[in-house]
Chain A
Amino acid sequence: MAILVNRDSRVICQGITGRNGTFHSLACRDYGTNMVGGVTPGKQGETVDGIPVFHTVWNAVRATGANVSIIFVPAAHAKDPILEAVDAGIELIVCITEGIPPLDTASAFHAVRFYNRRLIGPNTPGIISPGHKCKVGIMPGYIHMPGPVGVISRSGTLTYEVVDQLTKNGVGQSTCLGLGGDPVVGTSFVDALKLFKDDPETEAVVLIGEIGGSAEEQAAEYIRNEFNKPVVAYIAGRLAPPGKRMGHAGAIISGGTGTAQSKINALNEAGATVVENLTQVGAVMRQILK
């Protein structure tokens, strides 16, 4: 099954005629994703290398039966397309855009929850299920390999790094999911763990956290109480000075909370295998799966 995206996903891209929208829509299709359409107001009737473009998400959904959308709209305008996707009935919304004001995300997220949809991101690399040849994101597809490990992360390139290690260690992935680097994101570690728990294709999970907030501590509590599969965890940012945003808007130690040590301790106590050296994640997971 993998989680959230699979061979049955029918994907549209909001902002498909922009530079990034075009590039990544085609890259997703090349990987095997069923890209059924795109949305750019005023350009209905055009195509992007054969992918039909629609004025509105509603038109796209009606014509194609799309159930997943990937958003590449600039930050200043990104709240509206999330709401548009929600109202058009899209079940899974993947928002790649970085730099959306968190108050905008919060109000869009409210609508997502109210209508019982799912939002991944913003500021996410997206999601990929290699065994289903379905990629809804900007990650390099070729580093992935089908297999039993779920990957959840707040960081894009760090996910690639870890996936690359897993693959080189002969450990494939069921679904890899970037939660996004913003302080407010639509899907949390706990949300993702719940899905992996019920996914028969997933045998173990890699959790990649970083400083800021308390999502990893909440994940630790869930792992201790409910989760029944092995977890290998890595937390980035042990050297981060308090009060500085470390690249991601959400990666900041403030008011003494959000330190790497607090997250490492919580995950250790919950029974996860916390790896100190990033370069060991793949090898440790291979050992666990033996």
Chain B
Amino acid sequence: MNLHEYQAKQMLAQRGVDVPRGSVCYDPLEVLIGARALKTDRVVLKAQVHSGGRGKAGGVVVLSMEDDIRRAAAKILSKRLVTNQTGPEGKPVSAILVEEVLPIDREIYLGVLQERAAGWGVIMASAEGGVEIETLAREAPEKIVTMKVHPVRGLSPYQARGIAYRLTDDRQLAQQIEKVVTVLFEIFVGLDCTLAEINPLVVSGDRVVALDAKIVVDENALYRHPEMELWRDRSQEDRLELSARKDGLSYIRLDGNIGCIVNGAGLAMATLDLISLHRGMPANFLDVGGGASEQVVADAMSILLDDERVRVVFINIFGGILRCDVLARGVIKALNQFGARLPVVARIEGTNIDEGRRLFEESGLPIEMISSLDEAARVVVQKAHAA
């Protein structure tokens, strides 16, 4: 679960990290009032969306107090922000963070994530902040300082200090950076984050300030942090992805026109790959899970039928725990309820296959059964092109 920049900054500020003075505003007049309250010459308006690359997309604007701040705010709030990470549909902007503009002496990158092989926390820092860490990792990996933190022992002061002194020789500055590192790591562990990042952390005179921050909380650990649900911004998430999650399904929107129902994440990915090998393009990734019930299958089917881009439905199920007859009942239930407006190609295999096949055949619905996976993928793509 992503947090907004202003939410991440609130968390940092609550724990004593310096952030720019500012306020979160929801309409243009509020933005103007918020800007005036800062009693400064220049302010920055920052669109609050779950995406990087906001600056280049026009979502971050620096203004002087003589400028028409209300109009600038209205412009940002009036349309969806399309960045290089959002896809063409963009994300709605419902809030603007208005902040003071600080003189910047230096920019630093600071991030915490989890290393996979042994599950240690990894703190990454670079004296070159402001750029994307991915770019830096690719082009100048020697400029990134990393520090591994043991999952049980936790962060020792010497480690945070070590990071700080790799970034500066100035004692006063290093002490401030050490504190920021410690707090960021506390947030990472305390909130079960998959990522906690300050980019850039800036040196402005004698202040060390978090100018932008990104926190991603692990969905699996949200049960430990029920208060975080209040911070979830559903407007930033895909409508169908949300409704799938509510039903316990895993759904990801893609750009094509073939709707796929698959059980198991690996088989779902492999099915997409197979469709693309046959020169087709899936509209989605929809995984009902290894042990779905009849209702879950019906819910998955209704999500596909609700997507106007879908031209043909491809059901690819290897029934292990999920029995083929349960699957068939779910599909038939959804088609009878929502109407069979689309052709369906089903390739099912595994437990109770004969019963599943019989149910499909006797349903009288337009379901084509193909037992070879490769052949089924070919036929689906053909139908998608023909539709």
State yes or no: do A and B come from one complex: yes
Question: Which residues of A does B touch, CB under 8 Å?
Answer: 75-76, 99-107, 109-110, 113, 125, 138-140, 143, 153-161, 164, 181, 183-184, 188, 208, 210-211, 213-215, 218, 234, 236-241, 243-251, 255-256, 260, 276-279
- CA gap between A158 and B270 in the complex, in Å: 8
From B118, B151, B264, B351, give the contact of A155 (CB < 8 A): B264
- Collect the chain B residues with CB atoms within 8 Å of residue A183's CB: 114, 116
Are A248 and B265 CB-contacts (below 8 A) given A103-B114, A109-B118, A239-B273?
yes
A71 to chain B, nearest CB (A): 16
Number of chain B residues whose Cβ lies closer than 8 Å to a Cβ of chain A: 54
- Within 8 Å of chain A (Cβ to Cβ): is B75? no
Please, could you name 8 A-B residue pairs with CB atoms under 8 Å apart, sorted by A?
A103-B221, A104-B221, A160-B318, A211-B269, A213-B116, A246-B269, A250-B116, A276-B273
Q: For residue B270, which residues in chain A have a CB less than 8 angstroms away from its CB? A: 158, 161, 234, 236, 278
Contact of B320 among A156, A245, A277 (CB under 8 A): A156
Given the interface contacts A208-B266, A255-B133, A279-B274, does A103 sit within 8 Å of B138 by beta carbon? Answer: no
Given A101-B218, A238-B276, A255-B137, do A106 and B252 touch, yes or no (CB 8 Å)?
Answer: no
Q: Which residue of B lies closest to A74 (CB)?
A: B223
Does the CB pair B151–A161 fall under 8 Å? no
Q: Which chain A residue lies CB-closest to B133? A: A255
Interface-located stretch among B282-290, B328-336, B359-367 = B282-290
Closest 4 A-B residue pairs measured CB to CB? A155-B266, A247-B265, A106-B119, A157-B264
Asked whether B116 lies within 8 Å of A276 as measured between CB atoms, the reply is no
In angstroms, how far is the closest chain A Cβ from the Cβ of B115?
8
CB of B146 within 8 A of chain A? no
When distances are taken between beta carbons in the complex, the residues of chain B under 8 Å from A157 are 262-264, 266-267, 290, 318, 320
Given the complex of chains A and B, what is the CA–CA distance between A52 and B285 in angstroms?
Answer: 42
Most buried by A among B137, B250, B267: B267
Contact, CB under 8 Å: A184 / B266: no
- Pick from B150, B265, B350, B374: contact of A140, CB below 8 A: B350
Cross-chain contact of A278 among B114, B273, B321 (Cβ < 8 A): B273
Q: Which of B138, B318, B372 has the most CB of A within 10 A?
A: B318
Residue interface mask B362-387, A partner, CB < 8 A = 1? 00000000001110000000000000
Q: Once the chains are docked, how many angstroms separate the CA of A154 from the CA of B267?
A: 11
**B187 in contact (CB, < 8 A):** no
Q: Nearest residue in A to B119 (C-beta to C-beta)?
A: A106
Residue of B nearest to A102 (CB): B114
Which residues 275-304 of B have a CB within 8 angstroms of A? 275-277, 282, 285, 287, 290
The answer to whether B220 touches A256, judged by C-beta atoms less than 8 angstroms apart, is: no
A210 with B373: CB separation less than 8 A: no
Chain B residues positioned under 8 Å from A153 (CB to CB): 266
Question: What distance in Å separates the Cβ of A263 from its nearest Cβ neighbour in chain B?
Answer: 12
- A160→B320 contact, CB < 8 A: yes
> 1/0 per position for B108-134, CB-CB distance to A under 8 A?
000000101111100000000000011
Q: How far is the CA of A110 from the CA of B351 in the complex (A)?
A: 38
Given A239-B273, A247-B285, A256-B138: A181 in contact with B114 (beta carbons within 8 A): no
A-B Cβ contacts below 8 A, count: 174
Q: A residues within 8 A CB of B183?
A: none
B250 closest partner in A (C-beta): A247
Query: How would you classify the secondary structure of chain B's contact residues: helix, strand, loop or mixed?
Result: mixed
Considering only CB atoms, which chain A residue lies closest to B263 in the complex?
A157
- Distance in angstroms from A204 CB to nearest chain B CB is 21
User: Which residues on the A side are within 8 Å of B373 (C-beta)?
Assistant: 161, 278-279
The complex places the Cα of A214 from the Cα of B194 at a distance, in Å, of: 17
Q: A147 to nearest B CB, angstroms?
A: 20
Inside 8 A of B194's CB, which chain A residues have their CB? Answer: 102
Complexed CA–CA distance, A279 and B194 (Å): 34
Judging by beta carbons under 8 Å apart, are B114 and A215 in contact?
no
What distance in Å separates the Cβ of A25 from its nearest Cβ neighbour in chain B? 14
On whether the beta carbons of A256 and B269 are closer than 8 Å, the reply is: no
Give B240-281 as 1s and 0s: 1 = Cβ < 8 Å from A's Cβ atoms: 000000000010101000000011111111101111110000
Q: A101-B221, A106-B151, A255-B137 are in contact. Are A243 and B85 (CB under 8 A)?
A: yes
Q: Which residue of A lies closest to B285 (CB)?
A: A246
Contact B269 A237 (CB under 8 A): yes
- Which B residues lie within 8 Å of A109 (CB)? 118-119, 151
CB distance from B223 to the nearest CB of A (A): 6
Residue of A nearest to B278 (CB): A277
When C-beta atoms are compared, the residue in chain B nearest to A106 turns out to be B119
CB pair B189–A156 under 8 Å, yes or no, is: no
Least CB separation from A218: chain B residue: B117
Give Cα A279–Cα B377 distance, bound, in whole angstroms. 11
B30 within 8 A of A: no
| A254 vs B56: C-alpha distance when bound (angstroms) | 21
For A215, give its contact among B116, B221, B265, B318 (CB under 8 Å): B116
Name the CB-closest residue of A to B322.
A157
Q: Is B171 an interface residue (CB 8 A)?
A: no
B287 and A247 form a contact (CB under 8 A): yes
Task: Please give the distance in Å from A205's CB to the nearest CB on chain B.
Answer: 17
In Å, the complex CA distance between A51 and B332 comes to: 39
Q: A109-B151, A157-B264 are in contact. List 19 more A-B contacts (CB 8 A).
A: A101-B220, A102-B114, A105-B119, A106-B119, A110-B119, A143-B350, A157-B318, A161-B373, A183-B116, A184-B114, A211-B269, A215-B116, A215-B117, A218-B117, A234-B270, A238-B273, A239-B273, A239-B275, A249-B220
